[in-house]
Amino acid sequence: MFYPSAKLKVDRRDGKLAMAHFFVAFTALAIGGLAGLLQTLVRSGKFELPAGIGYYQILTVHGVVLGLVLTTFFIMGFQIAATSKTSGTLTNKQRLAGWIGFWLMTAGTVLAAIMILLNEATVLYTFYAPLQAHALYYIGLTLVIVGSWIDGAAIIMKYAEWRRKNPGQPSPLLTFMSLVNTMMWIVATIGVASTVLFQLLPWSLGLVETVNIAVSRTLFWYFGHPLVYFWLLPAYMAWYVVIPKVIGGKIFSDSLARLSFILFLLFSIPVGFHHQLMEPGIDPAWKFLQVILTFLVVIPSLMTAFSLFATFESFGRSKGARGLFGWVKKLPWGDARFTVPFIGMVAFIPAGAGGIVNASHQMNQVVHNTIWVTGHFHLTVATSVVLTFFGVSYWLIPHLTGRTLTKAMNKLGIIQAVIWVIGMTFMSGSMHAAGLLGAPRRSSYSEYGGAAQALEWIPYQVAQAIGGSILFLGIILMLYIFINLAFFAPKGEQEFPVGEPADDAEKAPMVFENWKLWLGITVVLILFAYTIPFIDLIQNAPPGAKGYKLW
């Protein structure tokens, strides 16, 4: 396949745009990580927050800053860099869209952060209407979403331009993947934008007195699950395209990589009910339908697992590895750019298994809203995804700043990942265990009046604090590496690794670029899964709920 700009460096001006995103992302990591540390310490029962700061206030900080800010900024920065690298430098207009998006997102983040710090918005990032935050909190988060759309428009415009200039050619794989994730994000965020603009904002401004809770929650979770795939797909971009080049191998199959991304686009969105299995007002048959759709993402996940390990094995065998697992030894374990994301991949095995439990129609009842769920997504997003993002940072940051990853930093990167695994094993492991015993999530330290069952949970909470403290050390180390790569590492050329497919002669079928088809199917699936239950929720709605400020 023809990659016209595969040898080029990312243009300095695009690099600045991407770096701006990364500065916000890593600031978020520092703040959100500190909040997380404090939460685990409070829950251990051995520590109280000073100066009247509330547990749920820092919980809101943790969720918003890591779940929305760190992820969205990192992903947008990465996708802009990847698109610029593989489809060519952004035009001035495209770059301007990127900057407008960036500043809108940043302004929104600051606004939401001020409201959280003033204790006007202790509603967590999942909103929890009829808890009612200050209108400026909702406006801030709306700006983050709208900013991300404009940011994403830069990627869409670049893709359209590339296709215009290269008729009949499949787009470069990394651009294609960035585009799929951007479109999935836009379709998904329509849900959260709708509940905020049409329900929560008018209600918090006092224009309407009550709000339909079930509709608001349904719109939120229409967004809430694709959100996790929006986090995951950039990690998949690195796994599919970057890692093969880092180890010196080939992409197993360009076409199958595209197919799996298309499947994620189709099956990521019409699945939100599996977060609402325990809720009244929704017919269980519709819940079951969405459970089935949820599980269809197993198919692209299996394809991904196969491709990655096929790449590793082919590479090892090409280096003369023998036996069933001889290829494992040939992999470049000393290279942080490989090893750190690899640890993320391995973490996805237990993480995915836990996800199957959560989404199961019946088993969900055992774990719903217990701290098991918190343990689950600290494996998916806070290990698989975040370690991959760290692994990407080790080459992308120096590539963009004209520096190099030194041997010392490379080694620190690997140490960082090992610390992360140790901390997460303690924290996520004890969260899973306590959750099975019934310990609730999103809850401050409580002995529940000395109840015997609650006392059983406390040792696990101490273990979570130990894990959380180790993880915080990992965050400090990561910030140190980031600052080094951004400002102090020696000047030089750091490669932006873009893999080439093994099936070089075989062109990816053009049907993958047919967005009328794929977006059409996406919309049909969404309408199929949501229309009737959504009409039900509106037609059979109880009287609306007034706002409460209970914090």
Partner 1 sequence: MHMHKFEKAWLIFGIGSLLVFLTVLGVSAFYLGNQPPSCLATIDPEKVDTTAPFNEPGLKKVEGKDWDYELVYVASAFSYSPAEVEIPYGAKVKIIATTKDVVHGFEVAGSNINMMLEPGYISEHVTTFDKTGEYLIVCNEYCGVGHHMMSSKIKVVE
Within residues 130-189, the interface with partner 1 by CB under 8 A covers 130-131
In angstroms, what is the minimal distance from the CB of 365 to partner 1? 5
Query: Is residue 262 within the footprint of partner 1 (CB under 8 A)?
Result: no
225 is catalytic: yes
**Residue keyed to tokens 């129609």:** 361
DSSP per-residue letters across 245-262 = HHHT--BS-HHHHHHHHH
Query: Is residue 462 within the footprint of partner 1 (CB under 8 A)?
Result: no
Looking at residue 306, its amino acid is F
Q: Is the dihedral of CA 43, 49, 55, 58 positive or negative?
A: negative
Considering the complex, state which of residue 125 and residue 395 has its C-beta at the smaller distance from partner 1.
125
217 is catalytic: no
377 is catalytic: yes
Q: Compose the 204-233 pattern: x for residues touching partner 1 by CB under 8 A, - for all others.
A: ---------xx--x----------------
Size of the site for partner 1 (CB under 8 A): 78
Question: Which of the following is catalytic: 225, 275, 368, 399?
Answer: 225
Considering the complex, state which of residue 509 and residue 520 has its C-beta at the smaller distance from partner 1.
509
Helices (H), 211-283: 213-237, 243-247, 254-267
In angstroms, what is the minimal distance from the CB of 154 to partner 1? 30
Q: How many CB atoms are closer than 10 A to CB 452?
A: 7
Q: Which stretch binds partner 1 (CB under 8 A): 79-87, 93-101, 232-240, 368-376?
A: 368-376
Binding to partner 1 (CB under 8 A) within 310-329 occurs at 310
Taking alpha carbons only, the member of 57, 67, 86, 88 closest to residue 25 is 67
Q: Work out which of 4, 45, 54, 332 binds partner 1, going by CB under 8 A.
A: 54
Q: Which stretch binds partner 1 (CB under 8 A): 82-90, 149-157, 346-354, 500-508?
A: 500-508
Query: Is residue 506 within the footprint of partner 1 (CB under 8 A)?
Result: yes
Half-sphere exposure of 155 (CA within 13 A, CB side): 34
Q: Which stretch binds partner 1 (CB under 8 A): 26-34, 159-167, 250-258, 420-428?
A: 250-258
**Residue keyed to tokens 């795939």:** 229
Query: Is residue 1 within the footprint of partner 1 (CB under 8 A)?
Result: no
Query: Is residue 548 within the footprint of partner 1 (CB under 8 A)?
Result: yes
Q: Work out which of 256, 262, 343, 471 binds partner 1, going by CB under 8 A.
A: 256
- By residue count, the chain amounts to 551
Query: Is residue 362 within the footprint of partner 1 (CB under 8 A)?
Result: yes
Q: How many CB atoms are closer than 10 A to CB 492?
A: 11
Query: Is residue 259 within the footprint of partner 1 (CB under 8 A)?
Result: yes
Considering the complex, state which of residue 201 and residue 366 has its C-beta at the smaller distance from partner 1.
366
Query: Is residue 509 within the footprint of partner 1 (CB under 8 A)?
Result: yes
Looking at residue 204, its amino acid is S
Helices (H), 55-134: 55-62, 71-87, 92-117
Q: What is the 3-state secondary structure (H, E, C) of 457-492?
A: HHHHHHHHHHHHHHHHHHHHHHHHHHHHHHHHCCEC
Binding to partner 1 (CB under 8 A) within 373-432 occurs at none
Considering the complex, state which of residue 189 and residue 307 has its C-beta at the smaller distance from partner 1.
307
Question: Which of the following is catalytic: 43, 95, 378, 399?
Answer: 378
Residue 500 burial by Cβ neighbours in a 10 Å radius (0-12, 13-18, 19+): middle
Question: Nearest-5° angle of CA 333, CA 335, CA 337?
Answer: 120
Whole-angstrom Cα Rg for the chain: 23
In angstroms, what is the minimal distance from the CB of 122 to partner 1? 8
442 is catalytic: yes
56 is catalytic: no
Q: How many CB atoms are closer than 10 A to CB 24?
A: 21
Binding to partner 1 (CB under 8 A) within 280-299 occurs at 280-285, 287-288, 291-292, 295, 298-299
Q: Work out which of 437, 466, 473, 532 binds partner 1, going by CB under 8 A.
A: 437
Considering the complex, state which of residue 213 and residue 242 has its C-beta at the smaller distance from partner 1.
213
Q: Work out which of 99, 438, 473, 532 binds partner 1, going by CB under 8 A.
A: 438
Q: How far apart are CA 244 and CA 316, in angstroms?
A: 11
Query: Is residue 56 within the footprint of partner 1 (CB under 8 A)?
Result: yes
Q: Work out which of 166, 255, 406, 469 binds partner 1, going by CB under 8 A.
A: 255
Query: Would you state the torsion angle of the CA atoms of residues 91, 96, 102, 107, taken in this order, to the nearest 10 degrees?
Result: 180
In angstroms, what is the minimal distance from the CB of 220 to partner 1? 12
376 is catalytic: yes
Half-sphere exposure of 65 (CA within 13 A, CB side): 25
DSSP per-residue letters across 485-536 = IIIISPBS--------BSSTTSPPPGGGG-HHHHHHHHHHHHHHHHHHHHHH
Q: How far apart are CA 53 and CA 34, in angstroms?
A: 14
Question: Which of the following is catalytic: 138, 377, 390, 496?
Answer: 377
Binding to partner 1 (CB under 8 A) within 109-128 occurs at 122, 124, 128
Considering the complex, state which of residue 48 and residue 283 has its C-beta at the smaller distance from partner 1.
283
In angstroms, what is the minimal distance from the CB of 160 to partner 1? 24
Query: Is residue 542 within the footprint of partner 1 (CB under 8 A)?
Result: yes
Question: Which of the following is catalytic: 43, 95, 217, 376?
Answer: 376
- Please state at what angle helix 407-436 crosses helix 386-401, rounded to 10 degrees: 160
> Which amino acids are annotated catalytic?
225, 229, 376-378, 441-442
